[in-house]
């Protein structure tokens, strides 16, 4: 196992500096993922949420993942919050942050980058 690259070190620094309201900030992305699944499987088993922030009642964060940036051809500091979610228990959920900003939410291993 090699040393951390400077981009990995920066990603770790950014992950540790996440604001206290990081969940509120990322709610629209996570809610979009919830809605995609709701449309796919039908709304009987996934009812509309009375308040979008309730999506967090169905998410349990597990860990922060900092990918090997060279291996993944990443040129900016990137990390992912990995979680379990009630609507996709088999594949879970990952929230990707690039340069400290959440920019993508998908099932684990499915993000576009």
Element containing residue 26 per DSSP (H, E): helix 22-41
Instruction: Report how far residue 86's alpha carbon sits from residue 38's, in angstroms, rounded to the nearest whole number.
Output: 12
Instruction: Report how far residue 113's alpha carbon sits from residue 97's, in angstroms, rounded to the nearest whole number.
Output: 11
CA 18 to centroid of chain Cα atoms: 13
pLDDT digit of tens for each residue in the chain (113 aa)? 578 899 999 999 999 999 988 888 899 999 999 998 888 887 677 878 888 889 999 999 999 999 888 777 778 999 999 999 998 889 999 999 999 999 999 998 775 54
Look at the chain and count its residues: 113
93-98 β-sheet, strand order: 59-65, 78-85, 93-98, 101-106
């Amino acid at each position: 196992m090699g040393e951390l690259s400077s981009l990995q070190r920066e990603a770790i620094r950014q992950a540790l500096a996440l604001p206290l309201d990081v969940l509120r900030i990322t709610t629209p992305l996570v809610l979009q993922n919830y809605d995609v699944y709701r449309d796919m499987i039908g709304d009987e088993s996934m009812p509309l949420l009375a308040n979008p922030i309730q999506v967090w009642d169905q998410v349990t964060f597990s860990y922060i993942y900092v990918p090997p940036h060279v291996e993944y051809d990443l040129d900016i500091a990137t990390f992912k919050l990995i979680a379990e979610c009630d609507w996709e228990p088999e594949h879970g959920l990952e929230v990707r942050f690039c340069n400290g900003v959440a920019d993508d939410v998908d099932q684990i291993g499915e993000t576009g980058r």
